Amino acid sequence: MISRRRFLDDVVHGVTAIAVGSTAKSYSRIVGANERLQFAVIGTGSRAYAHLSGLKANSDSATISYICDVDSRLLAKYAIAVQQFGYSPEVTGDFREVLDSKNVDVISIATPDHWHAPMAILGLEAGKHVYVEKPPSHNPREGELLILAQEKYRRLVQVGNQRRSSENTIRIVREIHKGRIGTPYYGKAWYTDVRPSMGTGKVVPVPETLNWDLWQGPAPRTQYKDNIHPYNWHWLRRYGAGEALNNGTHEVDICRWALGVDYPVRVSAQGGRYQFKDDWQFYDTLVMTLEYPEKTICWEGKSDQGLRCYDRRRGVLIQGTGGSVIIDHEGYEVYDWKGNKVTSDGEIESVNTVIDHRGEDKLTNNHFGNLIDAIRLGSPLNSPIAEINTTITSLHLGNISWMVSRQLNVDTKTGRIMNDAEAMELWSREYEKGWVIRV
């Protein structure tokens, strides 16, 4: 285990000076810290900055006591950003030091996907509440285990699909449930992007700043290649879960929420890797269909096409017997049954954007605030693992359907695949020795 002093001396040279210089400035934030929840941010890549925004926005009731990453280069950069806002957290390259600390109430996990459930479960076992980025599991079995751990250790788990904390989305979903567009029966979700090729990786020496063994953690060991870290692991089955779980989570969850459905009866998915020939192991184009009694959800993922749908890069269409609603991160638009746009005094459009001009992540701010209120005041969570896991498992089923090239029949009580032993072999994964998840 790496001590804070050794880590700072050997790796984050220069950060100590910043910490000393900011002591007086940050002291007021430390006073009364026992009344504020103490967070540890684990994983300090791009998404961690949204976590910083969320905690900064809720600084009256939360603080950052630890930051952690296996990549000292990313950690040093993040330490500077955190300290610029007056925080002076402990710094470590080993998350187990965080779990051992009595000065941590909540861990927020922004690591690669293969670490989400194992780290969340270990955090729960250590008595910590958890904020975990989507997807909260690398495979369906991990979702089952995470729910069991949450129930066993009686701590809260908030999943980072922050659109559940959008005031606009909450409002329009409530209106849909009240009959605003009649009986909703169809949800269409989409995501478009122009991602570059990840290329063909070469085996190279592990960077001195990276603890490659701990980065891999529960995943079976493999040689380090130059095109995996820090982002392209998303497209490797060993570590990621593809675009459906990376970005489809947000919009498919809104569809399921608006339609009021749980596990689908049938799941099918068709697509492939078409745009580039490289190390990418998932699809760049996928059409996934989730079928329910008298309702359907369809997700179109296009990682390598820039043409928008309904003039939006991503979004949701909910259709009902009396009309339709288009929802995106800025707001929503309501249409009648004939496709005419409906306006009213209560209509909201182009507000509550995810990222404003200052780089503040408003929805994540709300989402962290919701978790903090749930811990301190007993307020209901917007994205508890037991609820969101249904969406996540449904998307995992779509991945499995694509992998085995056929439709899956689903047990609507458990989400498990029926009468298909080959597909059920993909329900879990192989773990590195010593890292098998147990609850």
Higher-scoring residue by pLDDT: 12, 422: 422
Q: Which letter does DSSP use for residue 194 in this model?
A: E
pLDDT band at 35 (very low <50, low <70, confident <90, very high): confident
Confirm if 425 and 419 have CB atoms less than 8 A apart.
no
Q: Per residue in 177-227, pLDDT tens? A: 999 999 999 999 999 999 999 999 999 999 999 999 999 999 999 999 999
Mean pLDDT, to the nearest integer, of 263-267?
98
For residue 43, give the H/E element and its range.
Answer: none
Determine the pLDDT at residue 129: 98
Which are the contacts of 107, defined by CB distance < 8 A and separation ≥ 6? 39, 40, 42, 95, 98, 99, 119, 120, 123, 128, 129, 130, 131
Where is average pLDDT lowest: 107-116, 194-203, 242-251, 338-347? 338-347
Domains of the chain: 4-164 (3.40.50.720), 166-354+385-424 (3.30.360.10)
User: 90-118 burial by CB neighbour count: b if 16+ within 10 A, else e?
Assistant: bbbbbbebbbebeebbbbbbbbbbbbbbb
Q: Per residue in 311-321, pLDDT tens? A: 999 999 999 99
Q: Is the pTM of this model over 0.75?
A: yes
Q: What is the mean pLDDT of the chain?
A: 90
Look at residue 97 and give its three-state secondary structure: helix
Determine the pLDDT at residue 330: 85
Mean pLDDT, to the nearest integer, of 67-95?
97
Q: Per residue in 373-411, pLDDT tens? A: 999 999 999 999 999 999 999 999 999 999 999 999 999
% of the chain residues with pLDDT over 70: 88
